[in-house]
Structure formats: C-alpha cells, structure tokens
Chains A and B, each alone.
Chain A
Amino acid sequence: MSRQEPTERSGDDERNQSRDRPCIRVSSLEKSFGDEGVLKGIDLTVETGELLAVMGPNGVGKSVLFSCLAGSDHPSAGTVEVLGADPTTRSDTTGFLLQDALCVDRLTGRENLRFYEQLHPNFTDDWREYVEALDIADDLDKRVENYSGGMKRKLELAIALSIDVPLYLLDEPTAALDLTMIQAVHGLIREKQAEGKTVVVSSHRPMDVEIADRIAFVADGRVVATGPPDELFEAVPTVVETRLSNAEALAEIARGGEVFQGNGGVRGFLSADSVEAVDLEGTADAEFEIVSPGYTDLFNYYTRLSPTNGR
C-alpha cells in the first residue's frame, strides 16, 4: 500500500514499541459530567498488537471510555496511558472513529477525504483501497448529506483507518452495515492487526466478537469481565431455554430471577444449586432445555448477571 510520509515521532514510536509494554494501560479511570458519574473506576490493559472488543449495553460509557483513551476527554480521576504517555498530551498515536462525528455533511465524500488528508500528517493514500473494499468508490462525488447511515459509516471508517498510527479506537465500526460489509470491515481490521497495530473495537454485534482476541465487558461504568472468548464462555453457567409462556417458571429457578429473550423462547442462567434441584431430564414435555451459550448469552451474563457486576 502506498503511504504518505509519516511524522518522525510516529515512525520512531512504532519502531520503539516493545512487545512487553502494554499499548494501553488504564487504572481506576473515572469520568463524570456534572454530578453524573459515567465511568466509575475502569481498569484495563491492552497489549500491543491485540484486538480487543469492548461490549456493553447502551449508555454504559463505552464512547466516553474511548474518548478518554483517544485523549479527547480528560479523566475526572485515575490514569490513562497510551504507549506510555498521557493521550491528552500526545495526539499522534491514535486513530479514532467516533460515531457520526468525522464527516462534514455539506461536503462530498471526496472533499471530506481531502480535508483529512491535509489535516493529519499521518494520513495515507490507503483510503483508495478502503473505499473500494467498502464499496463507496462510486459515491465519493456525492454530498455526504445524501449518504445513507451505512455509507456515512463506511466513509468514516475509510478516513479513520487511513491514518497511519499504532492504535485504532473504533466506536461501533459495523453499526448500520449489512452482513457482507461487516465481513469486509473485519477483513480491514484483521489487515491492520497483521501490520502490528493495536485495535480496540466497541460493538453490540456478536459477529464483531468473533474476530477479537479478548473481550472486555463494561457495565455500570466498570469493566466487569475481560478475557479471551473461550475462557469467558467457560465461566458462563448452564443456560436453559423454555417457551415464552413458561417464563415465570424459569424465572423462579434462574440466577437473579431474570430471564432473557432467546430463539423463539426465553432463556435463563442456572446456578449450581438450581441445576441439581431441577430435574431437567425428567420434566414433562421437555419444558426446560439446556442449550449451548451463544454470544448473546455471554453478553447478558456478563453485563447483567455476573457476580463481578454486583448482581
């Protein structure tokens, strides 16, 4: 891929990056807006070259966390280090995709790209490849205000990924995209990782988790669980599914008394005691069925029920 000349500092940084030093180190991070605390003590480490997926329900502060990591916001308390430095004092290390914030609607796609090309010293010609891969090359001369949500997202992604930096923070990069495009975005993200870049992605989509080395679940302003997907799956209790009409019965035996929407029915997590107490095999009409946990179960367990989540 062709590249414009990166700044000397950025080039040196990448060369000097030690595999032993984490790319991101967050300690006791708190962020409040007025009296409202959004982040309440985040601890997180991201290794260099890692692909981390940050997951959590809407409004738990994922975007605020990303803003602190990108140096866009100052923490109210705690520390954030990106490549050993405070990101608010050094801004040449991060490519930040923020939802619906990069593109200027009154400009065309091409004019937006030109703007960032002139603006960022590390902007590369890679956008040409990205707009082809994301299938918006033919729409670059249209004004962004005439783009669909998905097209806008793709243009923003092309801009963010064209900046040659060691760390990419992508806030919901696949929002509003169709399945084919999600695969294309995954391909681009994997390409970045193969180049040795560190990528942190926030998402609600199970598909996005499939490419992650590790997942960090955020709930109630804290990271409630982190680990490789396999390890996190192993720690999920037995998942039981039943008919919608049987939801109350499931709630009686489910952990936390909570049930969640499943594939045409409802699901709950059983504690060890419940598994023994309930004769699942002998239940008439197979009212309860043990099922393998999916990504949605993983999400529900860690963000709503996990003991580390205080529930």
Chain B
Amino acid sequence: MVTNTERHETATERTTDSRSRVWFGQVRAFTERCLREVMNSWTMLLTVLALPAGLQLFYGVLWEGVPTAMISSAAVGTAVFGAMYICLYIFGYLLAGDLEDRRYAAYRSMPLSPSADLSGRMLAGIVLAAVAFVLTILAGVVTGGSFAIRGLASVPVVVLAFLLTCIFWMIVAVPFVVYAKNERVAEYAVPLIGMLGYMGTGFNGVMVDLAPIEGEILNYLPNTLPTRLLVYHLVPADDWVELGVAPPAMPTGPEYVLLMVVYAVLAVVVGTMIVNKVLYKRGWWP
C-alpha cells in the first residue's frame, strides 16, 4: 500500500524531473540557436573561425628560422586569443541582437530559466571557441610548431584552462552589451577588448619582450595566465627563458589553476547576477 509520504515523494521527484527536463531543453534551445545563427552566416563563421588560424599562418610566413618551440608558444597565444575573441564576439553580438530587438521582453513573459539562457549561450561559445582553438593549433603545426602533452596530469589542466578562459571572457562581454544595448558596439567594440589584451601582453604573455608590462603579473592576468599554463602543458620545451616566454617563471603550481577557477567563478557570479537582475528583472540571484 502506498503511503501519503511515498506519494508526496514521488510527486516531488516527478516535479524535479520535469523541471530538469525543461531546464536542459532551454539550455539546448539557446545553444542550438546560437550555433545555427553563426552557421547561417558565412561572414560570421569565417570571421570568428578563420581569423586566429589565419593570423598564425601569417606569422608563420614572417617567422622563418624561428625555433620550433617559439612558434608553438606563439600559436598557443594566438589560439587563446581566438577563443577570447570568439567568446567576446559571438556571445556579445548575439546577446546584443536579442536586447536590441526587445526579445527579452518576450522572454520575461515565458517560464524561462535565466541560468539556462546563460548556460546555453556559453555552451555554444565554448563549442565555437574549441573549433577555433584546434584550427589555430593546426595552423601552428603547418607553420613549423610542434605540440605534445607534458603528462597525463596535463590533460585535465589543459581542458580546465581552456574552459575557464572561455567562461571568463564570455562573461566579460555581458556588462558591455547589457549597458550599451547596441549590436554595433557588441560587434566591433567588445572584441577589441580581446585584441587589446592580446597585443598589450605580448601575444597573451608568450613573448614577454613584446609586452609593455612585465614581471609576475603575467602569471595573474586572466588572458596571460591560461595561455602560459597551456604553453607549459602543450609545448615540449624546458628552457623558457631562451624561448622568450620567461621570466616570470612558468605557472606550474596548482595555485595557478585555483586562481583560474576563482576568476571563472567570480565571472559566473557577476554574469548570473546581471542576467537575472537586468535582463530578466527577477532580483540579483536565481
């Protein structure tokens, strides 16, 4: 015989299941939609996917006679730039389109989860950034670079560093887009942040001689830290000073991974608050 408590628990489980199903459905909706929007536009697709790989090929032509490990490091720096650029451009541009067309007024009238909205967009950004990253690394190989995983423990660090970079830089786009409410600002101005970060830190901290800033700070900035982590784990080299990647010493300790996690968590908290409060007008936290 089924007791009232059991019946209540079954009903609660069913409601939770239903909510999870709806949440995942909404994540999928936003992911699919963002990917389709990009796929439907050859211009957008080429701009975001071919730009970093194209840059790497261009450098390859200029850098004849440069040591293999230096080309590899530069390719990682450019690949991270590509991921940042895509995250800023795609995430910002598509979000700005929704804002400019007043689509959020319609979304607010629907039972939508702001976290599903944010997660879906971020998932699409990560997929595109991953494609651009791999293409740029391949371009690095074509231009004479070589890559190898330092060890088994490098695999989660590389994956984590890449994901956290994407998450952080996508959220950076949110406040700019939300307060500018303009597709053009999102299309042209927001990606410039990535470009400035890349150029202003010597290819994201892999060519320290070119960077106007120097010292330990290159192991702490949200663009240079993941890049230097990735270089350490993907480029088969040991003499980083000779390659021009150090000083500072490479960020090899777990504390640097932890710092990246902190950056990403902070970004997600800020992004969630802005999406909840400003876009969905539902208070600061879900």
Contacts and interface: CB of A to CB of B under 8 A. Distances in A.
Contacts of A120: 110-112
Contacts of B110: 91-92, 96, 119-120, 163
A106 B37 contact: yes
A96 B109 contact: yes
Contacts of B282: 88
Max chain A C-beta neighbours (<10 A), residue from B32, B101, B108: B108
B26 A118 contact: yes
Interface in B4-63: 15, 18, 22, 25-26, 28-30, 32-33, 36-37, 40-41
B159 interface: no
A115 B106 contact: no
A8 B30 CA distance: 24
Given A106-B41, A118-B25, A118-B29, A101 B111 contact: no
A234 to B, nearest CB: 36
Interface stretch (A64-72, A245-253, A270-278, A287-295): A64-72
A72 B112 contact: no
Contacts of A114: 32
Contacts of A60: none
Interface of B: 15, 18, 22, 25-26, 28-30, 32-33, 36-37, 40-41, 97, 101-106, 108-112, 281-282
Interface of A: 7-8, 67, 70-74, 87-88, 91-92, 94-96, 98, 100-102, 104-108, 111, 114-116, 118-122, 143, 163, 169
Given A115-B32, A119-B30, 6 more contacts: A88-B281, A100-B101, A101-B102, A101-B106, A107-B40, A163-B110
26 contacts: A70-B108, A70-B109, A71-B108, A72-B106, A73-B108, A73-B281, A88-B281, A95-B109, A96-B105, A98-B102, A98-B106, A100-B101, A101-B102, A101-B103, A102-B103, A102-B106, A106-B37, A118-B29, A118-B32, A119-B26, A119-B110, A119-B112, A120-B110, A121-B22, A122-B111, A169-B109
